[in-house]
Amino acid sequence: MAQVFRLTAGIDEAGRGPLAGPVVAAAVLIPEGKGIPQLIKDSKKLSEKQREEMYAFITAHYLYGVGQADHTEIDRLNILQATFLAMRRAAAALQEKTPVELCLVDGNKTIPNLKIAQKAIVKGDAKIKEISAASIVAKVTRDRLMLKLHEEYPQYNFAENKGYCTDWHVSALRQYGRSPVHRRSFTYPGEIEQRSLF
C-alpha cells in the first residue's frame, strides 16, 4: 500500500542564471484546510504586482522557510551545488516551524544529503501548488535582495535586471568591471577579450 504523506512541502529556487547576487530557495507547506488562490502558479507567469500580492498571502497563511547561497558559495561550489545548499537551508528553516514528511522539488534532480523523503517534479512549479508557492517566495525574496544591492551598486541597475545578463548589465560590466557581489565563476558575452580587466 502506498504511503500517504500529509506534511508535504514544495521547494523551488530563484537566481541560478544571473551574473550577480545569491541563489535563493524556498520551501512551502500549505496547511490542511487553507485556501489556495488561483494566482498561486509559476512565479514566471505572474506580474511583479501579482507576485507581491501572493507573497503576502503565502507568508501570512502558509508555513515556509527560505535559504540562500551567496556569490562566494556559488563560486566555491558551482551553481548547481550552491542551489542544493540553498534548498537544504530552506527545508531546514521550514522544519524549525513544522515537521515535514515529503519534499517535492522542482526540476529533474533531488537534493543530495536532504534527510527528508523527496521527489523531483519536472516543471513542478506549473503542476504542484506547494512548488508554485515556493517559486513565488523565492523570487520575491531574491528580487528584494537585489533591490538592496542596487542601492550599493547603482551603476549595474540591479533594480531592473536583478543581476541577469541584460545589455545594460553587460555594458556596465565592460565599463566598471565586476562588483564585489558578481559571480567570478560566471562569464558574460564579450568577457573573454576583456578578461584581464577582472
Check the annotation: does 106 bind a ligand. Answer: yes
Rounded CA separation 125/148 (Å): 27
Provide the H-helix boundaries in 96-157.
124-127, 129-152
Provide the H-helix boundaries in the chain.
48-61, 71-77, 79-95, 124-127, 129-152, 158-161, 167-176
Contact 170, 188 (CB under 8 A): yes
Check the annotation: does 13 bind a ligand. Answer: yes
Which segments are annotated as binding site? 12-13, 106
| Annotation: binding site for a divalent metal cation | 12-13, 106
